Amino acid sequence: MVSSIVPGTTGANTLGVDNRFARSQQPNGAARNAEAAVLGDRVEVSGASIAAARESVRDGLNQVHQALAVGHDAQAMLVAARGATSQADLDTILGAYQQRVDSAIAQGGTLVAGQNLNVYAEPGGAPVTIPGVDLRLKSEPGVTDVIGVSLEAQLDDAGLGQAVQRSLDTLQDSMNRLIDSARALEAHQGFLGAAEGAMGVRNDLDAESARLLALQVRQGLQSLGGASIANAEPQAVLTLFRA
């Protein structure tokens, strides 16, 4: 028996159940599977759909962790720039940091380039958007840039110290948001991991079990407020798959 989990209507990123795939007396399960597969706007509750969501969450976490690592490097660069004693030292500090950012972008780091990242954290649900944090140095940084120190900063610039402090403050706010995003994704990862493990026990769900799984994920994420549960107990979800 296959049921479909679809986006719910009670809030953002919630899950609901398509009752058209409720338990049936039909002996031909393959026919019902084919019917569900035709509906492109719905995702079957299956090991494959849960695994795909886990992969998207894993990639999202990798991006967030990379952005946090570059953010720490940015903090170190700003402190070093403030303490530079010569223009040559300042140029070296800024150049080395810019190479670090360019390397992260070359490795596929879209967040550090300021691009938003969509993570499909729930089978059939709307994507979770992680806002980008542009950590590049600019020749002429604007007031909205995270790092307000110019790539061509001059040591004798009277405004350098102020630009460094403002950048440190703005950078810390951005990193706090990244940490919140990482915690939320870890929460999704924990539930999806437990659900994927449970799919090994029972390969399909009836409508009631699918509804319980959707409710478990939604209420669990809301009550935890994004807390990390990467080591969530699989037995808590296994009970949803027992007849």
d(CA 216, CA 34): 27
Show the domain range for 197. Answer: 4-241
What is the DSSP-derived secondary structure letter of residue 47? H
Nearest to 124 by CA among 13, 3, 43, 4: 43
Say if CB 193 and CB 217 are below 8 A apart: no
Tokens standing for residue 156: 């004798």
Give the CATH number of the domain where residue 167 resides.
1.20.1330
Q: Is 168 left (phi over 0), alpha (psi -120 to 50) or beta?
A: alpha
Q: What is the CA radius of gyration of the chain?
A: 23
Residue 144 vs residues 38, 148, 166, 167: alpha-carbon distances, Å: 46, 8, 11, 10
Could you tell me how far CA 135 lies from the centroid of its own chain? 18
What is the pLDDT tens value at each position of the chain, 243 positions in all?
333 333 333 333 333 333 333 334 444 444 444 333 334 444 345 667 777 888 899 999 999 999 999 999 999 999 999 999 999 999 999 999 999 999 999 999 999 999 999 998 877 678 889 999 999 999 999 989 999 999 999 999 999 999 999 999 999 999 999 999 999 888 888 777 776 666 554 545 555 565 666 566 555 555 544 443 333 444 444 444 443
- Tally of domains in the chain: 1
Tokens standing for residue 59: 């990639």
Give me the residues paired with residue 16 across strands: 6
